[in-house]
Structure 1
Amino acid sequence: MSNEFEPITTQEQFDQAIKARIERAQAKAAERFADYDELKAKAEEYDRAREASKTELKLAQDKAAKAEAELRELKDAQERSKAVSAAASSHGVPAELLSRMAGDPDENAELLAKSLGGKAYPQTRDNGDAGHAGKADPCAEAARMMFGRK
């Protein structure tokens, strides 16, 4: 090329100059973005991996939340059991009955003790499973007599 400037005088010269400039710009862009498809594929792979890790993280968080809820339930049940046992022994009422009642165990034990007339159930060695030791139940005897059974 010469260092002297030559003015463009025809349309063909102008078209050639523009065509050469466009080709240079396209070559430069192609060189600059040669790895575009590779980078795009890597970005998509990264996005997929990130979504997968979010899913794994979410699963782990859900599992941890479920375990914490179960632990909380077990602790609450244990605390309630201790409160029921303490209330039952302090008011002299059966813990089995008190444990089936909803609400505050101490208040329920107090109400249950009042409804029993202040009498606590006697504690037996067999926990009441062996029936009546010694005396016959008058209600059971009356029922047997009514229905003709002995």
Structure 2
Amino acid sequence: MADFKVIETQEEFDKAIKSRLAQKDRELEEKYKDYLSPEDVTALKTDFDKQLEEANKTLKEAQDKISSFDETVSSLTQRAEAAENKLLKNKVAYENKLPIELSDRLIGQTEEELKADAEKLSGIIKPQGAGAPPSYIGTQRASSGGVEAGMMQLAEAIGQQFAR
């Protein structure tokens, strides 16, 4: 124990324990090397909040688009059903030799219901002239190919409405 020297100043004390403090610092660094500092956590949280806000904004925009598409599909479906119903009524009116102007007066949703109503109506209304076919689409008369041409015009008109 002759080597023991009494430490009398702070500088001597700091010099004597410097290596021990360095060892403890290395141990703590090794122990907590995978941990984040509070500054890193704050930066990550800020970045995450920004990404979450952008994702929510994108989600809302997508939901708005879907809603708009649903409304468009619904509107187009209604228009298509109305056009199909009108075409079916025109067909039934022509088949029963009714004036095309009366096709809107036919009642029913199915072809059978429309045919039954058209038969009742044709019993009340006399045919036009002696065997002359009913008028079809405006002023055009049904003749060989005239009905087909009229149907094609009607189909094209409906197609053009849906193309808009």
Which shifted more, 17-26 or 112-121?
17-26
Is 1:97 the counterpart of 2:102? The answer is no
Shift of residue 38, structure 1, vs aligned partner: 1.2
**Residues 68 and 117 of structure 1: CA distance in aligned 2, closer, same or farther (over 3 Å):** closer
Secondary structure of the equivalent of 2:123?
coil
User: For the aligned residues, what is the CA RMSD?
Assistant: 3.4
Residue 77 of structure 1: aligned partner: 82
Q: 1:38 aligns with which of 23, 26, 43?
A: 43
**Residues 53 and 97 of structure 1: CA distance in aligned 2, closer, same or farther (over 3 Å):** same
Secondary structure of the equivalent of 1:54?
helix
Q: 1:107 aligns with which of 104, 112, 116?
A: 112
Distance 2:55 2:114 in 1: 57
Residue 91 of structure 2: aligned partner: 86
TM-score, with structure 2 as normaliser: 0.50
**Residues 117 and 35 of structure 1: CA distance in aligned 2, closer, same or farther (over 3 Å):** closer
Q: Per chain length, whose mean CA-contact separation is higher, i.e. which structure has more relative contact order (CA < 8 Å, sep 6+)?
A: 2
- CA deviation vs aligned residue, 1:29-88 (integer Å, no higher than 9, x gap): 67x534221121011110111011101101101111110111111111111111101111
Shift of residue 112, structure 1, vs aligned partner: 2.6
**Residues 90 and 23 of structure 1: CA distance in aligned 2, closer, same or farther (over 3 Å):** same
Distance 1:69 1:113 in 2: 30
Alignment check: 8 A CA contact 2:96 2:119 kept:
no
TM-score, with structure 1 as normaliser: 0.54
User: Could you list the runs of 5+ residues in structure 1 that have no partner in the other structure?
Assistant: 1-12, 124-150
Alignment check: 8 A CA contact 1:91 1:113 kept:
yes
Alignment check: 8 A CA contact 2:92 2:118 kept:
no
Distance 2:45 2:60 in 1: 23
Distance 1:58 1:67 in 2: 14
- Matched length: 106
Which residue identity is paired with 1:77? Answer: A
Alignment check: 8 A CA contact 2:92 2:114 kept:
yes
Distance 1:49 1:38 in 2: 17
Residue 59 of structure 1: aligned partner: 64
User: Could you list the runs of 5+ residues in structure 2 that have no partner in the other structure?
Assistant: 1-16, 129-164
Residue 138 of structure 1: aligned partner: none
Runs of 4+ with deviation above 4 angstroms = 16-30
Distance 2:34 2:115 in 1: 88
